[in-house]
Structure 1
Amino acid sequence: MATEVDLRDKVAIVTGGASGIGRATALALAGAGAEVVVADLDARGADEVAALVGGHAVVCDVSDMEADRAMVQFAVDRCGGVDIAFLNAGVMTGCGVGEDFDLALYRRANGANLDGVVFGTHAVLPALKARGGGAIVATASLAGLTAVPFDPLYAANKHAVVGLARSLGPVLQADNITYNALCPAFAESRIIDPIRDMLSSTRVTLIPAEEVADAVLRILAGGGTGEAWFVQPAREPGPFRFRNVPGPGAAARADAPPGS
């Protein structure tokens, strides 16, 4: 059953909205009543999804700061403001850090997976504050919660997104803005195309993009902030419970100066 949340009179931006999780989330947001701006490098795909949801399409390279600003300005000009940003665009890395390291591939992945989230956040915050608050959901990955030996650079990007969400969540509460990370396992999307055969041979269960989109609605409905929501096959999604980092040992505390 789809999560029920009333998003009437809300405006949502979805990056990477032309396919996969972005497309499914654009449909889910529109189904909940939101006016959706579909942003993607794939102009034709963005147009097709925008037509399906009765929304708007804008071409955006999220790794370009000015393109992110233009995307947000487009939403403000066309829709009157922004209430929700789903910063979802991303790519696999395609190289490691050893002999197979490729600077261009590294820059491309970092630009989409991390810069795209940071730049998108920076660009959309003024628009959210102008509306009196809102919500940002950034797509990380289960790779942001665990080790990924076959693509460590991708894991590094996604760990960074999780850290950003956990750190910014409390900071933005004063502005009535929630900030959370979405951490799905392998889901049906274009990003898995390079490893689809490997996943099939290891009998990995792919999550339908619609189930990941529903988790986005759950995050919005829940109202929490600074959380990293896992999405796994045949399991209820929810916030990952991080253990606290160890504090200083007793000896260190004993050596602390009085009043510290």
Structure 2
Amino acid sequence: MTAAGSEAGLRDKVAIVTGGASGLGRATALALAKAGARVVVADLDAQGGREVAEMVDGHFRACDVSDLDANRALVDFAQEQYGGVDIAFLNAGVATGCGVGDDFDPARYRRAMGANLDGVVFGTHAVLPALRARGGGSIVATASLAGLAAVPFDPLYAANKHAVVGLARSLGPALAPDNVRFNAVCPGFAESRIIDHLRGMLSEQGLPVIPAELVADTVLRILTGDATGECWFIQAGRDPEPFRFRNVPGPGTPVGV
């Protein structure tokens, strides 16, 4: 779709962006505003969130996405400011910081699950009535390549993101009767705070960091498309596109029958 087509599809739409103070959320909030959308920026980082909201001529709302009531309050705030909601980019996330062995930390585990998975589930639950009231809308969740492949060095993060991928694939068709599309983006190592503790390793191995703007452009491609239930991979040096999942084998014929 051309830039003009994207603007036509997003102009005057109301979008909520969680994790909007930095990284992928910041880049997407800027891209949405450039395309003519009205943006509510949500984050726990009040200073960064307010700065982005000012840049997009939008509004900021402090929000802990791991809290269901906070998600509901965020949607209510967006409706109060703009009269409705058309788009939700459920992007907020954190690094896990522990494994399941001797380094297991229940508090870190719950924090990661709360932001990376509960934030998507709670955000979806909270925004659905607002989208339905508008006759439909679009939700995009941030998953990861870690949701499409094994990640031995961070299995809990992989578990978070595999769950988001499963939600996207399942909620896509489930929400279609309400004219609500649900898709996910699955970036590799993209410019965000989540990779801060990995920058040394990435540099040593010569692995490129994906610009946040490429993720934002992909989100806008999804929002201005018509597909649902897709998980778009974003990898350095490749054009983003929906990941092609293999079909699960069906039941076989029992032996001896």
Alignment TM-score, normalising by the size of structure 2: 0.96
State the partner residue of 1:224: 227
State the partner residue of 1:250: 253
Match of 2:70 among 62, 67, 77: 67
Q: Give 5+ residue unaligned stretches, structure 2.
A: none
SS state of the match for residue 163, structure 1? Answer: helix
- 195-204 or 65-74, larger mean C-alpha shift: 195-204
- Give 1:199 shift: 1.1
SS state of the match for residue 22, structure 1? Answer: helix
State the partner residue of 2:121: 118
Tell me the number of residue pairs that the alignment of Structure 1 and Structure 2 aligns: 254
Matches within 5 A, 1:200-239: 200-239=203-242
- The one-letter code of the counterpart of 1:241 is R
Q: C-alpha separation between the residues in 2 aligned to 1:212 and 1:164?
A: 20
- The one-letter code of the counterpart of 1:12 is A
- Give 1:12 shift: 0.2
Q: CA deviation digits over 1:191-245, x for unaligned, max 9?
A: 1111111111111110110011000011112210000000111211110000000
SS state of the match for residue 227, structure 2? Answer: coil
Match of 1:99 among 95, 102, 105: 102
- Percent of paired sites with the same residue: 74
Q: C-alpha separation between the residues in 1 aligned to 2:147 and 2:134?
A: 31
Q: C-alpha separation between the residues in 2 aligned to 1:122 and 1:32?
A: 26
Q: C-alpha separation between the residues in 2 aligned to 1:108 and 1:196?
A: 22
- Give 1:9 shift: 1.8
Match of 1:135 among 125, 135, 138: 138
- The one-letter code of the counterpart of 1:134 is G
Match of 1:22 among 21, 25, 38: 25
Matches within 5 A, 1:6-85: 6=8, 7-85=10-88
Q: C-alpha separation between the residues in 2 aligned to 1:25 and 1:190?
A: 15
**Would you say 1:167 and 2:173 are equivalent positions?**
no
Native 8 Å contact 1:30 1:53 kept in 2: yes
State the partner residue of 2:186: 183
Q: C-alpha separation between the residues in 2 aligned to 1:12 and 1:221?
A: 13
SS state of the match for residue 121, structure 1? Answer: helix
Q: C-alpha separation between the residues in 2 aligned to 1:91 and 1:216?
A: 19
State the partner residue of 1:258: none
Q: CA deviation digits over 1:28-63, x for unaligned, max 9?
A: 011111000000000111100000000000000000
Q: C-alpha separation between the residues in 1 aligned to 2:59 and 2:32?
A: 13
Q: C-alpha separation between the residues in 1 aligned to 2:154 and 2:103?
A: 11
